């Protein structure tokens, strides 16, 4: 019995360990670059931190896209990660794509400091983001609040100016 208790204690400690991912943001064209670290939280969700530079001043849509495919740059990353087939929304909205992470904001120096905790995404499993792409858009995400098809699918956030595949760290 003692061996079983020790084994269960070891497994519980092992499962509570924080899993991590990383994405290096590049485009090859617009000069947007940076790095992001994704840390899975023991209570659920993922904490995303890092910096992205080379952006225009202001808010930029920030999403997880369905494919980790950069063969055609950010254009081949597919649509927003949406395993539950919902409409686009804010990170705290009831109806949102799993990949809808809202906006990041760049200052006058073109640098955005990212510090986001999202309770829906995970690194693995049904809402897993490992192997998918993180994408930064040219404009502000309207969070699906406008009455247009584009708002309800992409947040009208504009073109893709930076992206990276989320890998294991």
- Please tell me the class of the 17-168 domain: mainly beta
Catalytic site residue from 97, 132, 142, 152: 97
Catalytic site residue from 72, 115, 118, 160: 160
Catalytic (active site) residue 152 = no
> From CA 81, how far away is CA 31, in angstroms rounded?
25
Catalytic (active site) residue 88 = yes
Tokens 């858009």 locate to 137
pTM of the predicted model, to two decimals? Answer: 0.88
Q: Which tens digits make up the pLDDT trace of 52-75?
A: 999 999 999 999 999 999 999 999
Residue 13 in contact with residue 5, Cβ under 8 Å? no
Q: Which tens digits make up the pLDDT trace of 112-161?
A: 999 999 999 999 999 999 999 999 999 999 999 999 999 999 999 999 99
């Amino acid at each position: 019995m003692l061996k079983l208790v020790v084994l269960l204690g070891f497994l519980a400690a092992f499962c509570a360990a924080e899993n991590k991912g990383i994405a290096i943001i590049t485009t090859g064209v617009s000069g947007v670059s940076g790095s992001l670290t994704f840390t899975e939280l023991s209570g659920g969700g993922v904490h995303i931190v890092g910096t992205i530079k080379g952006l225009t001043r202001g808010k930029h849509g920030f999403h997880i896209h369905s494919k980790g495919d950069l063969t055609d740059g950010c254009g081949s990353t597919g649509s927003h990660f949406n395993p539950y087939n919902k409409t686009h929304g804010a990170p705290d909205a009831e109806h949102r794509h799993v990949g809808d992470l809202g906006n990041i904001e760049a200052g006058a120096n073109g640098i955005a400091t990212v510090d986001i905790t999202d309770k829906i995404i995970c690194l693995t499993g049904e809402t897993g983001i490992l192997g998918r792409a993180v994408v930064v858009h040219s404009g502000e995400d309207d969070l699906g609040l406008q009455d247009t098809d584009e708002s309800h699918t992409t947040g009208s956030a504009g073109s893709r100016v930076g992206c990276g595949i989320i890998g294991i760290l």
